[in-house]
Chain A
Amino acid sequence: MTDLSAHSDLEHGGHEIHYDPEGCKIGFWLFLFTEVFLFGMLFIAFGVYLTGYKADFQASSAMLDVKMGGINTLVLLTSSLTMALAIRAVQVDKKGQSLFLMLVTIGFAVVFCVIKYFEWTHKFHTGIHLGSAETFGVPSVLTDMPRGQQLYFGLYYVMTGFHAFHVLVGSILIMVAMYYVANGKVNKDRITLIENAGLFWHLVDLVWIYLFPLFYLIK
């Protein structure tokens, strides 16, 4: 598998690392599966409590703003499109186009987070939060609500928060991809990195596709 020159390489550095795009892709899909189960368990918890506290969950769902959630859905779906097109641009060797499309994708990610931020702070101001009155300025009204509603909002903050965290990580991955596309290390012959960043971004989108109707539309 290796000749003597490789041996002398080893004494200086370490193994030469083979580039195996297929292997990297399988590996990244396996990683995505771990994410599927991470969110999957949250969805199971949500489902269990939805069956247990149906009326409370529906009442709480009515308190969310469908408009904001809907816009966020559009934003994420469109960002998925731009990311897919950015990968395609690298495949056909259009570096500038790819960088622009990734920048747009990150722009959408920012828009998503800003909307999320307003949604959350609005909820905090009306007293729907898990903290103390000192931290949020208003006392929590959550403790006076029925148990199902407390659970609903607990899960709402955890799940959307967890998703928002993944949006953040995804954006960072895309920035890394931009860096490597810009300096040419990722190109149409070595495309794994941007492809995997794209896969992660689509996964974030997939999670939201389920989150949105389950939280906003069950009234």
Chain B
Amino acid sequence: MASDAAVAHKQDYVNFFNTKKGIMSWVWTIDHKRIGIMYMCAITFFFLLAVCLGLLIRGELMVPNAMTDGKPFLDVFSPLFGGVTGGDLYNRVLTLHGIIMIFLFIIPSIPAIFGNFFLPIMIGADDVAFPKLNLLSWYCYVLGAIVAIISVAVGGIDTGWTFYAPYSANTSANLYLPLTAAFILGWSSILTGINFVVTIHRLRVKEMGWFEMPLFCWALYATSWIQVVATPVVGITLILLMMERFMGIGIFDPAKGGDPVLFQHMFWIYSHPAVYIMILPAMGVVSEIIPVFSRKTIFGYKFIAFSSIAIALIGSLVWAHHMFTAGMAYEARVLFSLLTFFVAVPSAIKVFNWIFTMFRGSIKMDPPMVFAVIFIILFSIGGFSGLVNGALATDVHIHDTSFVVGHFHYVMFGGTGVIFFGAMLYWFPKMFGRMYNKTIINISAIMFFVGFNTLYGGMKLMGLNGMPRRYADYVVEYAQIQKISTHGSWLMVAGIFLMFGTLFYSVFKGKKAPDNPWGGATLEWTVQTPPPLLNFDEQPENIRGAYDYPEVVAEGEPKETVGV
């Protein structure tokens, strides 16, 4: 029912894609939306790359005793890794999978893509506070990624993504490049964090108070603070590690009186809050998606907002639960185990609020909602297994088994990764002005869900039975379940590629999407699709609350494509 006037209105504005053409207009752009799109391309590329590496690992684990029989599957790929073979190669593939997934995918994923693209629009600003800094942050990411890739070309490293000393201080692999890469990527993260905090403080439209912000902005605010406060800690840790290797200052070297456990302390003081850098923005996106597809106001806005801050705070109290078997004092272990349980509280508050938002809503199972529900299920499973890890006594049993690997894939991949898909599906029509085929995406979601649980559920079972993590080889008793797990990985990856294939096709060939295909109430749905260069033609006025659903629902069902 698009009237001629509306169509004319659509055509006479300049959207951010067609303001300026040519590659240079992207290279030097300071437009937060274009930077977001560039991040999206790079991050998706690295994600798919690391998924393939994960498949290689699963391939290696398909058969028992491959190493001892002298027939490791991975040896086929050894030319890609400078001729390293056998167990060494496995370690390097494993490390690479971890480093890419953590530093190049999960940490930047949601803030850098969707935070960049939507935070300014959601608070009614025309860009982030420091657009040039934003571009610098993007180039830090690019530079870090390049250095990381070069480090692979010269043979890769075998320390695991955690770089634990003292092994990392002595290994023959070239550690300077990956450490430098992580350091530069840290800067990218810090700059984005600074930018977002200032943006939220300074650029909200006048009539939007702190408690009228969409919850995604609250999540980003908490995340950005963690980025600013915690990232320098890992920066200095990596510098110390480099100096240790370079000059032998002795700080992590027991022979000189140093304490390797201090490295773990410093590393996890960053890296534990970093898991909240990863998960908080995802929780923010879920808080956006669920009310839209339940056609209902979010339940307990302030609780969700404050629980984001609470997670950021409590999350910085619990780092040593990664080190229960590292040789800490007993008293400290008990204390950290106790503190760990407190993190469960704000996370649980969020989950309950989401479920209550869905309760008695008129739920529409569109793809973003499907992924939000998958998130709640997988994150809850992961969260509960987190309690098993957090309890000191059980952790001693399962530490360094594949149970832990299963756990963090449930919370990180089943949490942040799933919402990376969910956010992409939710905002895809706004970003590209196209709609995708919902049925195909829903099929891919089911494939993903089944494959995921087979893969990582299998890992958890194996872990409980004692399968160690990071081992290239295993005894025949685990053969059956490893095989099932690997089959699960194929199904899951097929789902992922089906989804990204569909999205890629839809960027160019999808049906045109209207301004507000889902019937959302936040500000980004009030601007044209794709958004104009400066987001708002006029300063937004009389904005409605971010979750005023009775009002939105009264306006009738949203149209999902134009001209139907």
Contact = CB atoms under 8 A, between A and B. Distances in A.
Interface of A: 1-2, 6-7, 10-11, 14-15, 17, 20, 22-23, 26-27, 30-31, 33-35, 37-42, 44-45, 48-49, 52-53, 130-131, 146-148, 150-151, 154-155, 157-158
Interface stretch (B83-91, B172-180, B254-262): B254-262
Contacts of A11: 14, 19-20
B453 interface: no
Given A7-B533, A11-B20, A31-B194, A17 B132 contact: yes
Contact of B126 (A1, A131, A146): A1
Given A15-B30, A23-B129, A45-B266, A151 B534 contact: no
B250 A34 contact: no
Contacts of B190: 31, 34
Contacts of B233: 37-38, 40-41
B194 A41 contact: no
A23 B194 CA distance: 10
Nearest to B191: A31
B142 interface: no
B250 A151 contact: yes
B145 to A, nearest CB: 21
Given A23-B129, A26-B202, A30-B197, A42 B236 contact: yes
B17 to A, nearest CB: 13
10 nearest CB pairs, A to B: A147-B257, A154-B249, A34-B232, A23-B202, A37-B232, A130-B247, A38-B232, A30-B194, A27-B198, A154-B250
Interface string B207-232: 00000000000000000000011111
A150 to B, nearest CB: 5
A113 B31 CA distance: 42
What is the interface of chain A mostly: helix, strand, loop, or mixed?
Answer: helix
B131 interface: yes
Contacts of A38: 232-233, 235-236
Interface string B311-340: 000000000000000000000000000000
Contact of B201 (A14, A26, A37, A155): A26
Nearest to B190: A34
A33 B228 contact: yes
Given A11-B20, A34-B232, A52-B257, 15 more contacts: A1-B536, A14-B30, A14-B131, A15-B31, A15-B126, A15-B131, A15-B534, A23-B129, A30-B198, A31-B190, A33-B228, A34-B228, A37-B230, A52-B259, A154-B251
Interface string B1-41: 00000000000001000011000000011110000000000
A151 B256 contact: yes
Contact of A23 (B28, B198, B537): B198
B197 A130 contact: no
A155 B249 CA distance: 7
A30 to B, nearest CB: 5
A57 to B, nearest CB: 11
A151 B251 contact: yes
B395 interface: no
Given A130-B248, A154-B251, A26 B534 contact: no
A36 to B, nearest CB: 8
Nearest to A131: B247
A23 B198 CA distance: 6
B127 interface: yes
A14 B29 contact: yes
Interface of B: 14, 19-20, 28-31, 126-127, 129-133, 190, 193-195, 197-198, 201-203, 228-233, 235-237, 240, 243, 247-251, 256-259, 262, 266, 269, 533-534, 536-539
A40 B31 CA distance: 35
A132 B31 CA distance: 51
23 contacts: A1-B126, A1-B538, A2-B537, A11-B20, A15-B31, A17-B131, A27-B129, A27-B133, A34-B190, A37-B232, A38-B233, A41-B233, A41-B236, A41-B266, A44-B266, A45-B251, A48-B262, A130-B249, A131-B247, A146-B257, A154-B248, A154-B250, A155-B251
Nearest to B249: A154
A142 B264 CA distance: 26
Nearest to B261: A48
A45 to B, nearest CB: 6
B232 A35 contact: yes
B197 A158 contact: no
Contacts of B228: 30, 33-34
Contacts of A146: 257
A37 B262 CA distance: 16
Contact of B243 (A35, A52, A158): A158
B257 A53 contact: yes
A35 B229 CA distance: 9
A97 to B, nearest CB: 31
Contacts of B235: 34, 38
Nearest to B197: A30
Contacts of A17: 131-132
A178 B389 CA distance: 56
B258 A151 contact: yes
Considering residues A31, A37, A146, which has the most beta carbons from chain B within 10 angstroms of its beta carbon? A37
A22 B130 CA distance: 12
A33 B256 contact: no
A147 B190 CA distance: 36
Contacts of A150: 250, 256-257
B31 to A, nearest CB: 7
Contacts of B131: 14-15, 17
B129 A158 contact: no
A7 B257 contact: no
B30 A151 contact: no
A155 B29 CA distance: 43
A177 B451 CA distance: 58
B534 A154 contact: no
Question: B197, B198, B203, B538: which has the most chain A beta carbons within 10 Å?
Answer: B198
A199 B19 CA distance: 39
Nearest to A140: B248
A203 to B, nearest CB: 13
Contacts of B133: 27
Contact of B240 (A30, A35, A158): A158
A210 to B, nearest CB: 15
B257 A49 contact: yes
B538 to A, nearest CB: 7
A14 B32 CA distance: 11
Nearest to B536: A1
B279 to A, nearest CB: 21
Contacts of A39: 236
A41 B129 CA distance: 29
A9 to B, nearest CB: 10
Given A1-B536, A2-B534, A48-B262, A33 B129 contact: no
Contacts of A27: 129-130, 133, 194-195, 197-198
